[in-house]
Amino acid sequence: MLLGDTCTRGCRFCAVKTSNKPPAPDALEPLKTAMAGASWGVDYVVLTSVDRDDLPDGGSGHFAQTVRILKELKPGILVECLTSDFRGDLDAVSSLANSGLDVYAHNIETVKSLQRIVRDPRAG
């Protein structure tokens, strides 16, 4: 899980703690995460995160940096990124999509009829 343990959204279906002003992301997290992933002896790793609407790019740069370092440390590893919606920012999506990842994934947490009941309205 990248970008800390505190989400900027308060979706009712999720148990992750929330805050409008979570701590800043650890600048060394991409390196630390990549080093850990490369050392585990696995061939496939999934990176995910909390939503970080407080960051200009929603955290996509943090994801992309992690992917690039991981691929440098272990070129054969496959990397899947299970991301937030980055508030619909297509530049943020493009930045991550072009980072060298192998699978770009995004959760759809609920069916359309329950969307307004259980999901934060900012997550369109």
Q: What is the CA radius of gyration of the chain?
A: 15
H-helix or E-strand containing 104?
A: strand 103-106
Query: What's 6-18+27-118's CATH class?
Result: alpha beta
Residue-wise pLDDT tens digits, 80-116:
999 988 988 999 999 999 999 999 998 666 677 877 7
d(CA 114, CA 118): 6
In the chain, what is the straight-line distance between the N-terminal and C-terminal CA atoms, in Å? 22
Number of helices and strands (H, E) in the chain? 4, 5
**For the chain, percent helix, then strand, then coil, each to nearest 5?**
35, 15, 50
Full-model pTM: 0.87
Domain ranges of the chain: 6-18+27-118
- Note the pLDDT tens digit of each residue in 43-72: 999 999 999 999 999 999 999 999 999 999
